[in-house]
Amino acid sequence: MAVLSVFFLKNLKFSPKTLLIFTFFIIIGTLPGSLRDYYEQFRLTKSLSRQSLEVPPMTPYIDYPSKEILKAIYFLEKNTKPNQTVLTHFFVGNLIPAYSGNLVYFGHPTETSQFWSTKKTNVEQFFSGKMNPLRAQEFLIKNKIDFIFYGPQEENLNLKFDILTYKFLEKIFQNPQVLILKVIK
């Protein structure tokens, strides 16, 4: 982002001093958010890797998603409408809009309103089974969530919780790593 901004400003024919000042403020303006995002990714990776050795490290997971995860995302692309919303955790929440075109409730921290204040907690409570069924169903309906993407990261929030105990979810796709569930409204 900062590089593109500098390139754009350079082509506007500003003086070198003005360009340097703009560059400085662009870098200073974007740095805190980037550092917070990297810290959160590091914290999640460290936390998840302690919980289970079966979950791959998160950085390669998002940079090189497994074939099973991509198959599930492509299933969404072929079998859902772009205006339908998918509930997933952070990492796949960044892939779904790019590859399937669906909306996500919880995606990139700087692109998701209320990421830190509300949505992160809601997602973690839902996938860990800390929401009772009535509250979970109300949460999904209130936020117009149509599908649940349940992969390794979501499952790792509570390895003892079976998401299918929520009776208002219907399994529509399954492979060795991912379940996709439709919210019955």
Instruction: Give pTM, 2 decimals.
Output: 0.69
What pLDDT shows up at residue 6?
A: 58
Cβ neighbors of 95 (< 8 A, separation 6 or more) are 62, 65, 69, 73
What pLDDT shows up at residue 72?
A: 97
What pLDDT shows up at residue 55?
A: 46
- Residues 106 and 111: their CA atoms lie apart, in Å, by 9
Give the pLDDT means over successive 10-residue stretches in the chain (185 positions). Answer: 59 71 76 68 58 48 80 97 94 92 88 82 93 96 97 86 93 96 94
What residues are paired with 183 via a beta bridge?
169
What pLDDT shows up at residue 8?
A: 63
Q: Please check whether residue 133 is in contact with residue 163, taking contact to mean a CB–CB distance below 8 angstroms.
A: no
What pLDDT shows up at residue 157?
A: 84
What pLDDT shows up at residue 21?
A: 79
Q: What is the 3-state secondary structure (H, E, C) of the chain?
A: CHHHHHHHHHHCCCCHHHHHHHHHHHHHHHHHHHHHHHHHHHHHHHHHHHHCCCCCCHHHHHHCCCHHHHHHHHHHHHHCCCCCEEECCHHHHHHHHHHCCCEECCCCCCCCCCHHHHHHHHHHHHHHCCCCHHHHHHHHHHCCEEEEEECHHHHCCCCCCCHHHCCCEEEEEECCCCEEEEECC
